[in-house]
Chains A and B, each alone.
Chain A
């Protein structure tokens, strides 16, 4: 069964450093997402991406964040200068399209900012 993959599974970084989280969505999917979940809290939407541009972003997704689809398979989330409060699990998701379709989530990248 096709699945969303994410690398790395765990990333440890120093405050102020740049990190890039990588995702490979399911191949025939058209919509891509990043969500985050701070330990013990709910899953929060960060950004959605369609047709090579951002469709929607949340208040969390400020100028420190950016997304890119550098080739036909990868979808990346970059945090330019990490803060302690960026420590969280970051989930990539993808779907074929309409809102009633299932969004498939990757296994997540646990980001720890020291």
Chain B
């Protein structure tokens, strides 16, 4: 089983649509959770951290279910500029502090 698993997509949605991405992780020792965004051939950039209580940042809402080892990201009112690959990322909070990445979900927002 992959450590962090995501549907690769692509998700093709019209502007203004609401789209949801899901992610599962296999290591129950994981402590910190993130969504990163990666544009084509660019570096990953943090979109938002994910907390057990759920958190919202503008049009973006992230949820974490530790019991099911499941993370989600909801994007409301999609913009053309949201087109990118969204990476689900976990951190075991061990000495090395390494990030484990999912393969990413590609989103394409069309006019």
A98 to B103, alpha carbons, bound, how many Å? 24
Least distance between B57 CB and chain A CB atoms (Å): 13
Q: Which of B9-17, B18-26, B39-47, B70-78 interfaces with chain A?
A: B39-47
Instruction: Please indicate the chain A residues that have their CB under 8 angstroms from the CB of B46 in the complex.
Output: 102-104
Main secondary structure of the interface of A (DSSP, over half): strand
Instruction: Please indicate the chain B residues that have their CB under 8 angstroms from the CB of A75 in the complex.
Output: none
B87 lies within 8 A of chain A by Cβ: yes
Is the beta-carbon distance between A48 and B43 smaller than 8 angstroms?
no
Q: Select A42's contact among B42, B93, B102, beta carbons within 8 Å.
A: B102
Is the beta-carbon distance between A56 and B98 smaller than 8 angstroms?
yes
Is the beta-carbon distance between B91 and A99 smaller than 8 angstroms?
yes
Chain B contact residues (Cβ within 8 angstroms of A): what range? 20 to 34
Least distance between B100 CB and chain A CB atoms (Å): 7
- Bitwise interface map of B from 47 to 58 toward A, beta carbon under 8 Å scored 1, else 0: 001000000000
Q: Select A43's contact among B34, B41, B44, B49, beta carbons within 8 Å.
A: B44
Is the beta-carbon distance between A99 and B43 smaller than 8 angstroms?
no
Further 17 A-B residue pairs, CB within 8 A, beyond A42-B102, A45-B100, A48-B96: A35-B99, A43-B38, A43-B87, A44-B101, A45-B99, A48-B97, A55-B97, A56-B98, A57-B96, A91-B43, A98-B97, A99-B32, A99-B92, A99-B97, A100-B93, A102-B49, A106-B43
Is the beta-carbon distance between A55 and B95 smaller than 8 angstroms?
yes
Is the beta-carbon distance between A42 and B104 smaller than 8 angstroms?
yes
Q: How many residues of A contact B (CB 8 A)?
A: 27
Is the beta-carbon distance between A91 and B44 smaller than 8 angstroms?
yes
- Bitwise interface map of A from 52 to 70 toward B, beta carbon under 8 Å scored 1, else 0: 0001111000000000000
Instruction: Please indicate the chain B residues that have their CB under 8 angstroms from the CB of A104 in the complex.
Output: 46
Instruction: Please indicate the chain B residues that have their CB under 8 angstroms from the CB of A55 in the complex.
Output: 95-97
A4 to B85, alpha carbons, bound, how many Å? 21
Q: Select A105's contact among B45, B95, B103, beta carbons within 8 Å.
A: B45
A107 to B98, alpha carbons, bound, how many Å? 19
B31 lies within 8 A of chain A by Cβ: yes
Q: Select B101's contact among A31, A43, A48, A99, beta carbons within 8 Å.
A: A43
